[in-house]
Each structure stands twice: as structure tokens, then as C-alpha cells.
Amino acid sequence: MSTKLYVGNLSYTTTADALQAAFAAFGTVVSVNLITDKFTGKSKGFAFVEFDSEEAANKAIEAMNQKEFEGRTIVVNVAKPREERPRRDFKPRGDRPSYGGGARY
């Protein structure tokens, strides 16, 4: 069973390849998901690294948590399951009519 780790406080210049190389020393890395801003494409400073075994993930936590990586002290721990967020429906408010938005000239 695979185990996913949260890796936080990364440098904004860190790449997925650099994370792959650093964490491969502890076991087989299944995937690296570096989180980026959807508009700018720049890193948000955290990632998820998935290992093929819990044993490899635990080795990585012990070795990398609170250690320096590319000039920053990183945080490494087991990722929490993603929480479901309530869906936001963008409906017009009842007290005024909807004209489709935008500026009027």
C-alpha cells in the first residue's frame, strides 16, 4: 500500500525532479506532486510525495523532517486525507436582478 507524504516550507525554486531525486534515496517514489498557483504556474512552497511502501515513507520522514533542503528547513509528515469542501453555487442574490455582470457604459 502506498503512503503519501506532505512536504512543506519548500523553496519556491524547488522542482519536482529535485524532490524525486532527494526522496528516492529512501525507497521507490511513486509520484511527486508539486503544488503550483493555477494562474502564475509558480510553486506554492509545498508538495506531496508518494512512496510505494509505508516503511520507505517512515524512513523519509525520519531523515528529512526539520532538515535543510535547498536552503530551507522543510517539514515532512504523513499527508492527511483531502477534506471535501462544500460546493459553491454562484447564483444571483434574491434582492436584485442578475444582468450578467460587467461594467455598464
CB 5 within 8 A of CB 63: no
Q: Which domain holds residue 27?
A: 3-78
Q: Report the CATH number that the domain containing residue 64 is assigned in CATH.
A: 3.30.70.330
Assess if residue 84 is contained within a domain.
no
Look up the pTM and report it: 0.78
DSSP state of 79: P
Q: What is the mean pLDDT of residues 48-52?
A: 97
Residue 101 has pLDDT above 90, yes or no: no
Give the integer Cα–Cα distance in Å for 28 and 18: 15
Q: CB neighbours of 1 closer than 8 A, spacing ≥ 6?
A: 53, 54
What confidence score (pLDDT) does residue 82 get? 82
Q: What are phi and psi of 75, to 5 degrees?
A: -115, 130
The structural domain count of the chain equals: 1
Assess if residue 12 is contained within a domain.
yes
